Amino acid sequence: MKQSIEQLATGTLERITLSDQTAQSGPFTLVALRRAGVHLLMSCASLSPADFASPVGFFGPSHSTPYYPTGDLHQDRNIAVTLAMDCLDDLQVLLSGSDKAGIADKHSALAQALTDLGLHEHALTTSNLALEITRDLYGVAPDNFRLHLASVQALRANIMVDLNKHDDAADAADEAVTLSREHQELQDHFIPEFAYALLNYATLLCSIGRKEGAAAVAFELMGLTSDISESLPDMKQVSALCQLCLSITCIEMDGGLASSSADQAIELSRASLDPDSRAILAGALLAKSKIFP
């Protein structure tokens, strides 16, 4: 696999030095929120992720790759290649030892990089390895690995959407929510991972056309974040994405609610002009145009 990536990347992509923050990023990060915004925009435009994403991922020419998570396509391509190569290097060392948690984490990071590179089947196979190891760890120490297992399932759900495996994707995202909810109920404070899991599930259901289910999950998320969005920066963006999701899902069911949710998403995203907010703003404006053509 490493040789294949090197050959595909030759002349177009380069391996770079990643910051600690980038190297340690996972499915529940700022980039995940950016992906959610792009997926919701695609859904509002009646495009599925599998149809919209380039089949060759970041290996394709710039003009043929309309989906990218951060707004900097060249940098995203280099990050994806670098993460994949770094993970493969790390796994060579880890697989000779007994650090199962480390092996599972590297397989998860590798799976995300592979799907960004358009290697979707390889990504799914790799994520399956992460799932198998993490389930074993969860069986021994559930409190320590519940959120790890939820993270792996959220990642697998998005990979399977790109492969048009909609039922399996929805099941994986649902399990991620169930695990995160269980962990939240055991805590005496709010955990962001629960909100991220709900957002991932709502976005996924919206993107595969299961609008009623997406609306139900979005309503739950809206209730969860309504009182804390001002105190946690990421939750303000989660709230905006939640309102966008609710607007898109209600266009045909409840025009009034769709319109008011779009207005909320516009208000929450208009204050900033970063790539994340622009995707939300574009989706909300498109949703408004569909409600009042």
| 77 contacts: CB under 8 Å, gap ≥ 6 | 12, 13, 58, 59
* Number of Cβ atoms within 10 Å of the Cβ of 26: 16
| The three-state (H, E, C) secondary structure of 35-54, written as one string | HHHHHHHHHHCCCCHHHHCC
What is the pLDDT, as a whole number, of residue 13? 61
- Domains by residue range for the chain, with CATH: 2-291 (1.25.40.10)
**Whole-structure pTM over 0.95, yes or no?**
no
Angstrom distance (rounded) from CA 261 to CA 266: 9
- pLDDT tens per residue across all 293 residues of the chain: 776 676 565 656 666 666 544 444 444 456 678 778 888 888 888 876 655 555 555 444 444 444 444 455 566 677 788 888 999 999 999 999 999 999 999 999 999 888 888 788 999 999 999 999 999 999 999 999 999 999 999 999 999 998 999 999 999 999 999 999 999 999 998 999 999 999 999 999 999 999 999 999 999 999 988 777 666 767 888 999 999 999 999 998 999 999 999 999 999 888 777 777 888 999 999 999 998 65
Terminal alpha carbon distance of the chain: 49
Amino acid at 69: P
Closest Cα partner for 193 from 18, 10, 33?
A: 33
Q: For residues 188 and 52, what is the distance between their CA atoms, to the nearest angstrom?
A: 41
Residue 43 structure tokens: 């859904």
pLDDT for residue 277: 84
The answer to whether the CB of 208 falls within 8 A of the CB of 48 is: yes
Q: Select from 262, 174, 256, 264 the least CA-distant residue to 210.
A: 174
Q: How far apart are CA 106 and CA 126, in angstroms?
A: 10
